[in-house]
Chain A
Amino acid sequence: MHRLILNKIVLVLSTLSAVIGISFLFWILATLTYKGVSSIHWSTFTNDLVEGGIRNLLVGQFTMAIIASVVAVPIGMMAGIYLREYGHGSKLASVIRNLSDVMMSAPSIVIGVFVFALFVDPFGGYNGWAGIIALAIMMIPIIISTTDNMLSLVPTELREAGMALGGSKHKIILQIVVKAAKVGITTGVLLSFARIIGETAPLLFTSANNQFFTMDLTEQFPSLTVSIYNLATYPDSESRELAWAAAFILTMIVLFINLIGRYAIRNKK
């Protein structure tokens, strides 16, 4: 009898906790939708920040995140392949793996400060490249860890079978092992892209922001997240509304990429 009551109590408490946890998520989404949707107009997408829109901000944010991915994905994947396939059991590999894990939990503002000291100060001011470098630094350890984990799920027998057919190590890795882990790695890449596209701190004093449309990465570069941060502090209601609209759009983008990563690709398997 006593056991049954205890069982009930635990069930009720854990359900309640789950509901509390998830209710905040819905609260945020509901507020964002309520405030954001009413602030979105057609001109939000066609105008640049200087005219009260976010066109240049969206382009800028995606440009930096995409170039950062182009840099970070190959480096991270190759490092992950090294850790799992070549450095297996070696001292160097375990040191790199631990450092990479530490990097993953490094506060993003610290990465911003680091990039500021190396690529902003010596180059005479905020620039798009510095923002890209900061985002890439954030992304690399995530890709390393995903690749490492996904490759570890590929059964050893598959590598041995490739070897038994006369495959050399690099061919087996590239043609069989990575292929077998493709779905997992792609998901990881998408999720890490979703992560960096919503980052503010690494951009705050690297690429900063730009009110105008530009594709020149040596200048200050337009950023959606930094703009939300700035706009929200302005006193006028138009700026506040634009901040809500931008926050809602950013959330939808991140949500969308997450959903693709979690479902669409997995089902394709």
Chain B
Amino acid sequence: MAKDKLVMEIKDFSFTYSGAEEPSLRKINLPVLKNKITAMIGPSGCGKSTLLRAMNRIHDLYPGNKYEGKINLYKEDGTKENILDLKKENDFIKLRQQVGMIFQKPTPFPMSIFDNVAYGLRLSGTKNKSELEGHVEKALKDAAIWKETKDRLKESALGLSGGQQQRLCIARAVALKPRVILFDEPTSALDPLSTGAIEELITELKKELSIMIVTHNMQQASRLSDYTAFMYLGDLAEYNTTEKIFLNPEKKLTEDYITGRFG
């Protein structure tokens, strides 16, 4: 574990939703390692999605939430930045270009397939047409959806199937060359075949970037991830290599959850 490099690091992090009295997350400490897949598991309402959504500050779409502690993002040169210190919209934009996110339901924008992938690129300042075309093609290839879409780039993205839409969303995120992609139950709305394609894709993406995935599917967590964090009632109950968590967990609680005795 020692030789793996950190890409993000959550330190003593607590989070309280606007208007709530009790924090939803308490003193979380969790590393996100470079070029690894970290899975977050736990029963509904344990705070996994809340934590994930703090990691690119998407919570800030709604005002009044309270953050405590630190979430550090490490840059290529080894320096770190606490993303909880960000205040300006421009800084958020830069953060989200480095830390992308994929949602439970596919979220294609009501525009063409090409424009969907080009959307983030245009926002980050790529205007040149041939450059855009190159990036879009690369992203669609990286997301393993190029073959299905190359002849219909001008068509609406809403005409794609659910699984294709989700891979398009991944292409859209990958196009920005983020350092981390956060997946919030990316396959729970998809059939087994599409799920398989997405899982294969996520494993492939690990070569280029680091991944954090929230999932309710134990098999998915054990198949995909290198590390697993088990969360329970707003606390991080246990974190270790996936092998350890699934074969020999330290806590009884973790074992009970994984074997399906509750949750």
Contact of B27 with A by CB under 8 A: no
Stretch at the interface among B32-40, B89-97, B248-256: B89-97
Stretch at the interface among B65-73, B103-111, B212-220: B103-111
Contact of B169 with A by CB under 8 A: yes
Q: How far is the CB of B132 from chain A (nearest CB, A)?
A: 14
Contact of B136 with A by CB under 8 A: no
Contact with B120, one of A157, A165, A169, A182 (Cβ below 8 angstroms): A165
Q: How far is the CA of A157 from the CA of B174 in the complex (A)?
A: 18
B58 touches A166 (CB 8 A): no
Interface residues of A in 163-214 (CB under 8 A from B): 163-169, 171, 175-176, 179-180, 182
Q: How far is the CB of B47 from chain A (nearest CB, A)?
A: 18
Residue of B nearest to A156 (CB): B61
Contact of B188 with A by CB under 8 A: no
A158 touches B109 (CB 8 A): yes
Contact with A160, one of B94, B103, B120 (Cβ below 8 angstroms): B103
A157 touches B96 (CB 8 A): no
CB contacts (< 8 Å) of B89 on chain A: these are 168-169
Q: How far is the CA of A180 from the CA of B109 in the complex (A)?
A: 8
A-B contact count (CB 8 A): 65
B56 touches A164 (CB 8 A): yes
Provide the B159-184 mask, 1 if CB < 8 A to any CB of A, else 0.
Answer: 00000000001001100100000000
Contact with B96, one of A158, A163, A180 (Cβ below 8 angstroms): A163
Contact with B172, one of A160, A163, A165, A180 (Cβ below 8 angstroms): A165
A166 touches B120 (CB 8 A): yes
Contact A166:B111 (CB < 8 A) given known A157-B105, A160-B103? no
Contact A157:B107 (CB < 8 A) given known A164-B100, A164-B173? yes
Residue of B nearest to A88 (CB): B62
Q: How far is the CB of B90 from chain A (nearest CB, A)?
A: 8
Contact A166:B93 (CB < 8 A) given known A157-B105, A160-B103, A161-B169? yes
Residue of B nearest to A164 (CB): B101
Contact of B227 with A by CB under 8 A: no
**For the side of the interface on A, what is the size category?**
20 to 34
Contact of B123 with A by CB under 8 A: yes
Q: How far is the CA of A162 from the CA of B97 in the complex (A)?
A: 11
Contact of B124 with A by CB under 8 A: yes
A165 touches B96 (CB 8 A): yes
Q: How far is the CA of A123 from the CA of B109 in the complex (A)?
A: 50
A162 touches B93 (CB 8 A): no
Interface residues of A in 211-230 (CB under 8 A from B): none
A180 touches B56 (CB 8 A): no
Q: How far is the CA of A182 from the CA of B176 in the complex (A)?
A: 28
Contact of B13 with A by CB under 8 A: no
Q: How far is the CA of A147 from the CA of B137 in the complex (A)?
A: 36
Q: How far is the CB of B64 from chain A (nearest CB, A)?
A: 9
CB contacts (< 8 Å) of A235 on chain B: these are none
B61 touches A155 (CB 8 A): no
Sample of 7 more A-B contacts, CB < 8 Å, known A157-B105, A160-B101, A179-B110: A161-B103, A164-B100, A164-B173, A165-B119, A167-B119, A167-B123, A180-B109
- Spell out B's residues near A (CB within 8 Å): 56, 58, 61, 89, 93-94, 96-97, 100-101, 103-105, 107, 109-111, 119-120, 123-124, 169, 172-173, 176
